[in-house]
Amino acid sequence: MSAQTYILLYVENPTASAAFYALALSVQPVEVSRTFALFILPDGCKLGLWSRHTVEPAAAPAPAVLSGGAELALTLPSRAAVDARHADWMAAGVEIAQAPVALDFGYTFVGLDPDGHRLRMFVPEMG
């Protein structure tokens, strides 16, 4: 079995979403087109942003307001890095669903991408 991870999100506008994720992840996409964008994260995980209008086979339409039933969670190296990323997102006008807070698993915050997907940034702090 392969250990490589590939995550696909269906988005309204891959170009606009790629701009958001370049800021959010501090990584530039390796591919951007009208229908698709691709990021390769430092750990090798690939994040694809596919136009929901061109997905094959067609996906069910997204609800008017996403329920937040899932999220993409990415680790950062420290609380200071979490706070710095949060400040960057606030300055860029990213909608924040949860301000930085210490929870059972670590220090975290949650922002929303242009399509309402939840993006959690955190530093694990067990114990």
| Residues 48-80: tens digit of each pLDDT | 999 999 999 987 766 655 555 678 999 999 999
CA distance 58 to 78: 40
Tell me what pLDDT residue 71 has: 87
pLDDT band, residue 3 (cuts 50/70/90): low
The larger pLDDT score, comparing residue 116 to residue 31, is at: 31
Average of per-residue pLDDT across 36-54: 93
pLDDT category at 43 given cuts 50, 70, 90 is confident
The architecture in CATH of the region 68-127 reads Roll (3.10)
Domain boundaries, the chain: 1-59, 68-127
Q: Judge: domain 1-59, CATH 3.30.720.120.
A: yes
pLDDT above 70 (res 1): no
pLDDT of 58 reads 85
Question: What are the contacts of 81-85 at 24+ separation with CB within 8 A?
Answer: 81/123, 82/107, 82/108, 82/109, 82/121, 82/122, 82/123, 85/24, 85/26, 85/109, 85/121
What's the pLDDT at 35?
Answer: 96
Residues 6+ apart with CB under 8 A from 2: none
